[in-house]
Amino acid sequence: MVDEARLQDELGPSPRVFLVEYTNKTQTYSENIFQVDVQNLEEIRNVLKAARTLGLRVRAVGGGYNPIALCPDRGQIQLRLHDLKRFDGPRLELHEGFDKFGFRTMTVASGVSQEDMMDFFLNHKLYLPGTSKQSSLQAMDLITTPQHASFPGHKCASAYASQIRFVDSGGRLRVISDENPDAMSFMRCNLGLSGLIYDITFRLRPLIHVEVNDAFDDVESVLLDTNALKSTLAEGMATEIYWFPYNSCHFGKDWEPEDDKVWVKSILPAQSTEELTERQLDFEQTFTFYPDQFSQLTPEVLVGATRRGAMMTSRMLDCRGETTQKVTDAIYSWPEKHPFPSHSFGFSFPLDEDLDIVKDVIKMLCTQLKRFNKQNKYPINLMIQVQFSGGCESFLGPVTGNGGKALHVYLLSILGTEGWDEFTGALAADWMHVTSARPCWDTEWSTVPNMRTFLLKNMKKELTKFKTARKELEIDRHNLFMNNSIQQLLYAES
C-alpha cells in the first residue's frame, strides 16, 4: 500500500502531493485519494513516472460535475491542472487570421475555467457554442463528456475542437487534429481515457445577440402536441424547456403530470442590439423555497416547494418581459452554488423529423411519474430539463437524426430523495428500448440498473470503434488512466 510519504519521495520536492478526501461536486462520490497540482509539462511527466513506478493510476477529468464513473478510485492520483501553463504560448491564445475553413481559432490550456474562456473570447466578440460561464468547469470538461446548448443548429462544444495535445502514459506530448477523424471522434467524448489533456484548439464563431421570450404552458400542449412543438422549434434558433414537477399536484386529488406547467424559453435572432440585458434569472432563486434541513423533505413540503418555485419563476419572467442578450447570457447553466447536493440522470435520443420521439419519451416519463405518485412517492424534486441540440462528432456522443439533431432529457433531484433509484431504474428500462438511445455521460449513468448490459448490447459498434481508436493511438500502454468503473462497465468481458 502506497502512502503519502512514499509517493512524495518518488516525486521529489515538486510537485507536492496531498492525501485528501475527494468528493465530486454533486456529492454522490467520496474517497481518499492523492491530489497533485501540476503547473508544467515536466511536473506532469514526473507524476506519470512515479505512478508507473508505484503501480498507481491517474485521473484528470476537469472540475465539473464528475459522475461516479469518471472519479478516481480509492488510493489513486487525481491530477489537477488548474494552474497548468503551456510551454509554447499563453494559457489562452487567440491565433492571428483564419483557419482553412474561415474561422478564428483559440488554443486553451486544459485547466482553464470555462468562465475565463468565455471572458476571453467575448472580449474579441467571439464565442464557442455549447459552453457556459462557470468557474468550476474547465476546458477539458468539454471533451471528457459532450456539453451542448439547446441550439439544434449548434453541435456539442467538443465538435468544434480542431486540435488536441495530450500526454500519454509514457510521458510523451502527442498531438492529433481533425485530419485524423477517428482519433478526434475518440477524443471528443473520451470519459477520461485520453491521457492527460494538455491543450485544445477550438474553432470559434462570431458573437451574436438574441431575443429571449418566455412562456408557461402545460406539458400536454408543449411536449405532447408534436405539431405545436414543431412550430415552436421552427420559429427560433433554440428552445429550452424546464419542468418543475408536481406544480399542478394537490393532495387528495388525482394528479395528471400532463397538467403541470413548464417554462418554455425561446431564443430568436435579435432585431436590435441597442439595449442588451445580462442574465436575469438564476436557478438559486427558484430553489430558495426548499427547507434548509433535509429531514424536513416530506412529500407535502417538496411538492409545495416545487409548486411555489414554478409560480415564482413565472412571476419573475413576467416582470422580465422580452429581452435582448448576448447568446452566452441566454443559454442555460446550472447554478455554481446550488443549495443541494443532487442526483442527476439523463438520456439522449436521435430527433426524428415528426418529433414523435419527443412524445414517446415524455409519455414514458409521465407514466412513471403518475405510477409513483399513486404510491405517494415524489422522486423528482428539482427539475426536468428538455433540450435540443446538434451532434457531437464522437463515437459515444448522442446519435442524431433529422439533419443531425438530438433530444436530451435530464432529471435532477436532491441527494437521498426517496424513490430516486427505483424511479430512474424503471424509467431507464423504458427509455433503453428506444432506438439509438444512450445515456447522458455527464450524469450518474453508471448506477442505473442493467446499464452495462444495455451499453454492451446497444452500443457494441460504437464501443468497438472507441476502444479500437484508443488502442491504435497507444495512449495508455501502462494502464494508468483507467478506473474501476469504466473497466467494469465498458471493458470487462461479459
Domains and CATH numbers, the chain: 4-80 (3.30.43.10), 92-206 (3.30.465.10), 209-449 (3.40.462.10)
Per-range mean pLDDT, top range of 74-83, 209-218, 302-311, 389-398 = 74-83
Least confident of 105-114, 115-124, 266-275: 266-275
Summarised one tens digit per residue, pLDDT across range 417-465 is 889 999 999 999 999 999 899 999 989 999 999 999 999 889 999 999 9
Say if residue 137's pLDDT is above 80. Answer: yes
DSSP letters along 60-87, please?
---SS---GGGSPPTT-EEEE-TT---T
Question: What is the reported pLDDT for 88?
Answer: 96
Summarised one tens digit per residue, pLDDT across range 276-321 is 565 545 555 555 555 555 435 566 666 666 666 666 666 555 555 5
Q: Which residue has the higher pLDDT, 194 or 336?
A: 194
Question: What is the reported pLDDT for 10?
Answer: 95
Cβ–Cβ under 8 Å, residues 21 and 39: no
**Residue 486 is which amino acid?**
I
Q: What DSSP character marks residue 394? A: S
Say if residue 105's pLDDT is above 60. Answer: yes
- CA 411, 447, 428, 146 dihedral sign is positive
Question: What is the reported pLDDT for 26?
Answer: 74
**Residue 173 is which amino acid?**
L
Question: What is the reported pLDDT for 253?
Answer: 80
Average pLDDT over residues 247-275: 82
Summarised one tens digit per residue, pLDDT across range 48-68 is 999 999 999 999 876 656 788
Confidence of residue 383 (pLDDT cuts 50, 70, 90): confident
**Residue 170 is which amino acid?**
G
Confidence of residue 131 (pLDDT cuts 50, 70, 90): confident
Question: What is the reported pLDDT for 438?
Answer: 92
Query: Cell for 75?
Result: 488510493
Place of cell 477550438: 202
Q: Which of 333, 322, 236 is nearest to 277 (CA)?
A: 322
Which positions ≥6 away from 184 have C-beta within 8 Å?
161, 164, 176, 177, 178, 393, 394
Question: What is the reported pLDDT for 235?
Answer: 80
Say if residue 389's pLDDT is above 60. Answer: yes
Which of left, alpha, beta for 164 (phi over 0: left; psi -120 to 50: alpha)? beta
Least confident of 58-62, 69-73, 482-486: 58-62
Least confident of 227-236, 330-339, 395-404: 330-339
Query: Cell for 345?
Result: 440522470
Query: Cell for 259?
Result: 397538467
SS3 content of the chain, % helix, strand, coil (to 5): 35, 25, 45
The whole-angstrom separation of Cα 382 and Cα 380 is 6
Question: What is the reported pLDDT for 309?
Answer: 65
SS3 call for 19? strand
Q: How many helices (H) and strands (E) does the chain have?
A: 15, 19
Say if residue 354's pLDDT is above 90. Answer: yes
Per-range mean pLDDT, top range of 359-363, 373-377, 438-442 = 359-363
Cβ–Cβ under 8 Å, residues 332 and 149: yes
Least confident of 206-215, 355-364, 482-491: 206-215
